[in-house]
């Protein structure tokens, strides 16, 4: 009898899980940005969602190695990047939801780091919108990449 009374609850939770999994990618990113105080914490899956070839939003992604390797240059860059993301939360919603700030740490995105051929960090990648009215007039939607900043930061001046 107890099992029968719980059946509607299980059905409702399964329905909710199905709906959240099929939610609009932009809505998922908006929610993740709100959770992260303006900066989306990425893993391999959310990196792929954010950088989808069908994106009609732009994004700036910080690639770090803070957790695993205690990267010094990453530690220096991270506060400024998070300040930018936090400031972006003050932008009017119509514009805020067309651009995202995100951070992927090596520990959470080993596959992505390997796919990108990154062997040092930090690095920044800028992804213009690939579709829609925000797509660059040039038509070039390839990401703009910095070389890993650790090389620039750790090389002594001549």
pLDDT of residue 148: 62
Q: Evaluate whether 41 touches 113 at the Cβ level (below 8 Å).
A: no
Tell me the per-residue pLDDT of 9-57, one tens digit each, with 9 for 90 and over.
Answer: 444 444 444 444 558 999 999 999 999 999 999 999 999 999 999 999 9
Predicted local distance difference test score (pLDDT) of residue 150: 44
Q: How much is the pLDDT for 94?
A: 87
Mean of the per-residue pLDDT values of the chain: 84
Q: Which residues of 70-79 are buried (b: 16+ CB within 10 A; e: fewer)?
A: ebebbeebbe
- Residue 136: pLDDT over 60: yes
105 to each of 45, 58, 156, how far by Cα in Å?
13, 20, 26
Distances (CA, A) of 46 to 25, 76, 78: 10, 24, 19
Nearest to 104 by CA among 145, 64, 73: 64
- Structural fold of domain 24-153: Glutaredoxin (3.40.30)
Report whether 120 contacts 149 (CB < 8 A). no
This prediction's pTM? 0.78
pLDDT number for residue 9: 47
**Boundaries of every domain in the chain:** 24-153
Do 72 and 121 contact (CB within 8 A), yes or no?
no
């Amino acid at each position: 009898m107890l099992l029968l009374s719980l059946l509607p609850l299980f059905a409702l939770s399964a329905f909710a899980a199905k709906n959240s999994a099929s939610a609009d990618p932009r809505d998922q990113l908006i929610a993740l940005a709100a959770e992260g105080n303006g900066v989306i914490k990425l893993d391999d899956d959310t990196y792929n969602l954010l950088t989808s070839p069908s994106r009609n939003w732009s994004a700036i992604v910080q690639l770090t190695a803070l957790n695993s390797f205690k990267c010094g240059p990453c530690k220096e860059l991270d506060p400024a990047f998070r300040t930018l993301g936090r400031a972006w939360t003050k932008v009017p919603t119509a514009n805020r939801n067309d651009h995202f700030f995100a951070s992927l740490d090596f520990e959470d995105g080993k596959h992505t780091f390997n796919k990108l051929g990154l062997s040092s960090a930090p690095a920044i990648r800028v992804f213009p919108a690939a579709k829609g009215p925000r797509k660059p007039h040039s038509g070039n939607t390839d990401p703009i990449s910095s070389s890993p900043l650790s090389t620039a930061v750790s090389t002594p001046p001549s």
